[in-house]
Amino acid sequence: MKRFVCAPSGSGMSEEAWALAETTGAAWVGNDAAAHITLLRSTVEQELAFGMEQMGVPVPDMRARIRDVAGRWGLTTLLQRDPSKLSTGQTRRVAIASALLRNPDNLVLDCPLDGCDMDATRALVQVVDSFPGDVTIFDRTWNHLADLCDVESRYPEGVGLNPVAGAEYDSPAELSQSSDGDSLPAHTPVLMINDLVVERHAFTLGPLSAVIPRGITHIAGLNGTGKTTLLLALADLIEHSGRSQQAIRSDSLEPTQPLRYGWAPTSMDTSFSAKTVRDEIAIGSTLRNADALIEYCGLQDVAGVHPLDVASSERRIVSVACALARGPEFLFLDEPTVGLDVYGYRTLERIMRGFVAGEIHNVLCTHGGDTLGEPKSVVWTCHNGPYSQLSDYRLVL
């Protein structure tokens, strides 16, 4: 039997998934795919073999299985790469492939599409559709994996509480439609990328030249094509080369002046250091700005909570609020939809549109806070195709 369970973030869904796997002995792949990487092996090929080694699978059989699963999951060119240096989507592929290589009788997946591109999604659809045993999928939003399942359960109030029919519980695909009267911003260049080249983790990005206009720009591409690398280079957080030292600049800034940006990484948990959400948002800024953003982003109920104790969807919004804390000119968001439930998707869309419209900067100023300048652009990555359409522009790597 195949079952799809949908419930909001913080409702105990991950605990339910783990408990089910423990009770039934099913192979379990949790939402944090990186936690499934053992860090005991130096290549993806060795990582994939780890579980089979513990089971005593003969070496020729292991090699044959790895060849097969690597081809199915697009991992063939990554077999000699360091498994700890992969992209978010590549890491999830390795985690799911490792579980399948043990030939489990049953399978439990917790939010398996987070960070996956369309190729990985197609591979997962094939796996779920053809898996001979029981498959249970837990997710925060409704998606097309549900169409493969015999039983669909939606719990907007939490796992096991007051299930609703499908039409009554929407999905992110329905949230990204522009309202009547919305129009694209003028195509005004605000970021110039000139022959950018980055060499990182046995991967080379570029040379790349492009123009980022005012508005919301979606950096698109398959897993591992360098989307995160590009954002890190835009933020000048990694070494890069180009026609000049400052290969990327705003048209309104002197070429030697640093870019005034806010940055929210995919791996948000490693970036938190304060004891409360309020203090975390105020880092590098002021408590006035933090309070204004807590109100704007709807984080009042968790303002005094440790960031790591906040449910994943609200925790992602906390990460975005931290990026907004100084009132930046540019907002760089790497896979900000990872971890979101339906309410989180709505909040993220409101934040991004509010940023480019100047609404957030006005809120900060109204509360007596400070900003770094006029808001110009949101540059973000996202593998949720329908939701990414809220962008004004698209740059494909």
User: Which tens digit of pLDDT belongs to each residue from 259-311?
Assistant: 789 999 988 888 899 999 999 999 989 999 999 999 999 999 999 999 999 99
**Top-ranked range on mean pLDDT: pick from 62-71, 203-212, 374-383:** 62-71
**In the predicted model, what is the mean pLDDT of residues 308-321?**
94
pLDDT band at 352 (very low <50, low <70, confident <90, very high): very high
Same domain, 284 and 353: yes
Task: Give the span between the Cα atoms of 54 and 143, in whole angstroms.
Answer: 35
Picking from 193, 189, 188, 190, the residue whose alpha carbon sits closest to that of residue 246 is: 193
Would you call 168 exposed, middle or buried from its count of C-beta atoms within 10 A (0-12, 13-18, 19+)? exposed
Task: Give the pLDDT of residue 23.
Answer: 92
Residue 264 · residue 323 · CB < 8 Å: yes
Determine the Cα–Cα distance for residues 187 and 309; give it in Å rounded to an integer. Answer: 42
Rounded CA-CA distance 356/359 in Å is 8
**pLDDT for the residue numbered 180:** 42
pLDDT, residue 163, reads 52
Tell me, yes or no, whether 329 lies in a domain. Answer: yes
Q: What is the CA radius of gyration of the chain?
A: 22
- Going by pLDDT thresholds of 50, 70 and 90, the confidence category of residue 42 is very high
Whether 182 is in a domain gets the answer no
- Please choose, from the candidates 100, 97, 142, 131, the residue with its C-alpha nearest in 3D space to the C-alpha of residue 7: 142
End-to-end Cα distance, the chain:
39
Q: Specify the higher pLDDT residue, 47 or 211.
A: 47
Q: What is the pLDDT of residue 311?
A: 92
Mean pLDDT, rounded, for 69-91: 89
Domain enclosing residue 50, as ranges: 2-170
Residue 167, pLDDT score: 41
Same domain for 260 and 147?
no
Residues 227-240 have a mean pLDDT of 86
What span, in angstroms and rounded, lies between the C-alpha atoms of 128 and 48?
Answer: 20
**Do residues 200 and 149 both lie within one domain?**
no
Backbone φ/ψ region at 169: left (φ over 0), alpha (ψ -120 to 50), beta: beta
pLDDT band at 65; cut points 50, 70, 90: very high
Given this model, what pLDDT does residue 144 score?
81
Q: What is the pLDDT of residues 297-314, one digit of tens each?
A: 999 999 999 999 999 999
Q: CA angle, corner 177, sides to 171 and 178, nearest 5?
A: 150
Question: What pLDDT, in 10s, does the model give residues 362-395?
Answer: 999 888 777 878 888 999 998 766 677 778 888 8
What is the pLDDT at residue 179? 43
Determine, yes or no, domain membership for 307.
Answer: yes
Residues 159, 200, single domain; the answer is: no
Residue 269 and residue 162 share a domain: no
Among 77-81, 124-128, 293-297, the minimum mean pLDDT is found in 124-128
Q: Is the pLDDT of residue 246 over 60?
A: no
The pTM for the full model equals 0.82
Closest of 109, 35, 88, 132 to residue 266, by C-alpha = 88
159 assigned to some structural domain:
yes
When comparing pLDDT for 201 and 57, which is higher? 57
Domain stop point among 170, 198, 229 = 170
Is 36 within a domain?
A: yes
CATH code for the domain of 214: 3.40.50.300
Maximum mean pLDDT: which of 61-65, 156-160, 337-341: 61-65
Q: Are 332 and 218 contained in the same domain?
A: yes
Report which DSSP code applies to 34. Answer: G
The number of folded domains in the chain is 2
Q: Within this chain, do residues 259 and 392 fall inside the same structural domain, yes or no?
A: yes
Amino acid at site 43: T
Residue 106 reports pLDDT greater than 90: yes
Tell me which of 170, 202, 222 is where a domain ends.
170
Same domain for 299 and 221: yes
Say whether pLDDT at 248 is over 60.
no
In a domain, 266, yes or no: yes
The whole-number average pLDDT for the span 234-263 is 63
Assess whether 128 and 273 both reside in one domain: no
Residue 37: which pLDDT band, with cuts at 50, 70 and 90?
A: very high
Residues 9 and 115 in one domain: yes
User: Token pair for residue 10?
Assistant: 């913080």
Q: What confidence score (pLDDT) does residue 200 get? A: 80
Q: Is 177 inside any structural domain?
A: no
* CA atoms of 264 and 318, how far apart (whole Å): 10
Give the model confidence (pLDDT) of 138-180 as tens digits. 998 888 888 898 888 877 665 555 555 544 445 554 444 444 4
Q: Are residues 127 and 224 in the same domain?
A: no
In a domain, residue 179? The reply is no
CA distance 288 to 238: 31
Pick from 139, 170, 201: which residue ends a domain?
A: 170
Per the prediction, the chain carries an average pLDDT of 84
Residues 162 and 200 in one domain: no
Other CB atoms within 10 Å distance of the CB of residue 385? 13
Q: Which residue has the higher pLDDT, 55 or 250?
A: 55
Which backbone phi and psi does 372 adopt, to 5 degrees? -90, -10
Token pair belonging to 14: 């991950």
